[in-house]
Amino acid sequence: MKINRKKLELAKARACMGQKEIVAAGFPAGTLTNAMTGKNVKPETAGRLAKVLGVDVLDLIDTDN
């Protein structure tokens, strides 16, 4: 499953969080980089990222593929 970069940036803006804040909330830096660069992530990883940002996972994933 891929994270949509634009959707992720919007969710980060809504949550007023940058990469440092997401990592400080316990999300692994390497995994965040993978998600941001369009690499596949596990569904539970997408869910954890959505939880940190306070959004629904559907607000992050790339539904076009």
φ/ψ region of 38 (left if φ > 0, alpha if ψ in -120 to 50, else beta) reads left
The pLDDT, as a whole number, for residue 65 is 56
Better-predicted residue by pLDDT, 65 or 60:
60
Which residues, in sequence order, are bridge partners of residue 3?
61
* Structural domains in the chain plus CATH codes: 5-57 (1.10.260)
**What predicted TM-score, i.e. pTM, was given to this entire model?**
0.91
Query: How far from 34 is each of 46, 52, 64, CA to CA, in Å?
Result: 11, 16, 19
The pLDDT, as a whole number, for residue 62 is 85
pLDDT tens digit string along 43-63?
999 999 999 999 999 999 988
CB 58 within 8 A of CB 43: no
pLDDT tens digit string along 10-45?
999 999 999 999 999 999 999 999 999 989 999 999
